[in-house]
Amino acid sequence: MRFKPDMKWSDVTPKADFLNRRQLISGAAALAAGGVAGQIAAREAWHPADGEGLELNSFEDISNYNNFYEFGTGKGDPAQYAGALTTKPWTVKIDGMVDRPGDYDLDDLLSGIATEERIYRFRCVEAWSMVIPWTGFELNRVLDRVGVQPSARYVAFETLVRPEEMIGQRRNTLDWPYREGLRLDEAMNPLTIIATGLYDEPLPNQNGAPLRLVVPWKYGFKSIKSIVRITLTEDEPPTSWNMQNPGEYGFYSNVNPEVDHPRWSQATERRIGDGLFARRRPTLMFNGYGDYVGDLYAGMDLAEFY
Ligand SMILES: Nc1nc2c(c(=O)[nH]1)N[C@H]1C(S)=C(S)[C@@H](COP(=O)(O)O)O[C@H]1N2
Ligand SMILES: [Mo]
């Protein structure tokens, strides 16, 4: 299946599957808490890496095979336990080097920002991958809204800490809150989005409701979920997996088939949904988005800045 730039996921999903799936998930969506009111607005689909290997993963795969350590370390734990998370009301603190810092109610923060669909490859550092039809908007829209000051060079993100509802936070598997960060030019790049939904449905809690980052050319752990704080900083912010194991997980973490993880190869990946005995697929430099982001790293040694 080849994608054309103006295609939506419903155009490439056989009609019967489409209807079945919508019936299945409309019940689930009705039960799920929260979501951003009126988020589905004008859309124009833009699929920056058109081509082979972009068959969509099913809603079931995307919402049942997850990493979200706040709910446990097993791939099925988030789907089992994330329903306990209250996602409305939701406040995002935006602070640091911005003109209009504050505690923003999510609906206010996003009012007037139209969502669009982005079909992206998603590559976990553990060497599995998916293709996901996100709904969201460019992070730069939010940053422009709060006014980034000229001294800012990085953006730091934090996930909610609420062990009453996030049972994985009752153990110190990571040093909570989960933290991530981007260089400002990475954050402003049009590929970097905040996702509030997938398959035209509000984001399932296990995928990071009500809002999560998606940085498609970086390993999945950069795409931090259930964000409650965004801070503009001058210095490179500490990030969870780098704090946990700096020799294995760098700040940049760009998908790179030529720089192996110390304990496994990054040259190939297992596409979820392909089946256990399917051939592994080659991993693409910058996960296939080099035309859009390669310039960000001109002159950098990507083996040193992994
Ligand atoms: N807060 C938080 N964000 C997180 C994680 C996490 O454990 N906690 N896991 C990361 C990892 S390792 C991956 S691969 C992706 C998985 O996203 P998905 O479950 O929506 O596919 O979320 C990332 N964001
Ligand atoms: Mo991951």
In this structure, what token pair is assigned to residue 121? 């490859």
Q: Where are the domains of the chain?
A: 55-296
Q: What is the pLDDT of residue 35?
A: 34
What confidence tier does 47 reach under pLDDT thresholds 50, 70, 90? low
Q: What pLDDT is recorded for position 51?
A: 64
Residue 16 pLDDT class (50, 70, 90 cuts): very low
Residue 257 token pair: 């088939």
- Amino acid identity at 93: K
Amino acid at 71: F
Ligand 2 mean position, distance from CA 66 (Å): 8
Confidence of residue 276 (pLDDT cuts 50, 70, 90): confident
255-272 per-residue burial string, b: 16 or more CB within 10 A, e: under 16: bbbeeeeeeeebeebbbb
**Which of 223, 242, 269 to mutate to test ligand 1, by most ligand atoms within 8 A of the CB atom?**
223
* pLDDT surpassing 70 at residue 272: yes
Instruction: Give exposure, 172-189, as e/b (b: 16+ Cβ within 10 Å).
Output: eebebbbbbbbbbebbbb
| Mean pLDDT in residue range 228-235 | 99
Is the pLDDT at 31 greater than 90? The verdict is no
Beta strand 193-198 with 201-202: parallel, antiparallel or unpaired? antiparallel
Distance CA 218, CA 223 (A): 8
Establish whether the linkage from the previous residue to 5 is cis, with ω within 30° of 0.
Answer: no
| Closest ligand 1 atom number to CA of residue 132 | 21
Quick check: 229 pLDDT over 70? yes
> For a pLDDT cut of 70, what percent of the chain falls above it?
83
Which ligand 1 atom is the nearest neighbour of the CA of 124? 14
Predicted confidence (pLDDT) at residue 26 exceeds the cutoff of 70: no
Question: Given ligand 1 and candidates 60, 62, 63, 67, which is best to mutate, with the most ligand atoms within 8 Å of its CB?
Answer: 67
Task: Please report the pLDDT score of residue 36 as a whole number.
Answer: 32
Q: Which of 129, 157, 221 to mutate to test the pocket of ligand 1 (most atoms within 8 A of CB)?
A: 221
- C-alpha 82 – ligand 2 centre gap (Å): 17
Q: Return the residue whose CA atom lies nearest to atom 1 of ligand 1.
A: 225
Judge whether 206 and 79 are in contact, CB under 8 Å: yes
* pLDDT above 80 for 19: no
Q: In this predicted structure, what is the pLDDT of residue 101?
A: 98
Ligand 1 centroid to 250 CA: how many Å?
16
Mean pLDDT score of the chain, rounded to an integer? 88
User: Where are any strands of DSSP class E within 143-261?
Assistant: 154-159, 179-183, 193-198, 201-202, 212-214, 227-233
- For residue 233, pLDDT beyond 60: yes
| Gap from CA of 18 to ligand 1 centroid (Å) | 26
Q: Does the structure show a pLDDT above 70 at 44?
A: no
Q: Is the pLDDT of residue 212 over 80?
A: yes
Q: What is the pLDDT of residues 135-189, one digit of tens each?
A: 999 999 999 999 999 999 999 999 999 999 999 999 999 999 999 999 999 999 9
Q: Which of 68, 128, 158, 230 to mutate to test the pocket of ligand 1 (most atoms within 8 A of CB)?
A: 68
Residues with CB under 6 A from ligand 1: 66-70, 124, 159, 178, 207-208, 220-221, 223-226
Instruction: Give the residue ranges of DSSP H helices in the chain.
Output: 9-12, 15-31, 59-64, 77-81, 106-110, 139-146, 184-188, 240-244, 290-293
pLDDT of residue 49: 62
Checking if the pLDDT of 29 tops 80, the result is no
CA-nearest residue, atom 12 of ligand 1: 221
CATH architecture for segment(s) 55-296: Alpha-Beta Complex (3.90)
Tell me the whole-structure pTM to 2 decimals: 0.87
Give percent of the chain with pLDDT exceeding 90. 81
Of ligand 1's atoms, which has the minimum distance to the CA of residue 178? 1
Higher pLDDT: 44 or 285? It is 285
Closest CA to 209 of 28, 73, 10: 28
How far is the centre of ligand 2, averaged over its atoms, from the C-alpha of 223 (Å)? 9
pLDDT of residue 53: 81
Q: Tens of pLDDT along 63-111?
A: 999 999 999 999 999 999 999 999 999 999 999 999 999 999 999 999 9
Nearest CA to ligand 1 atom 4: 224
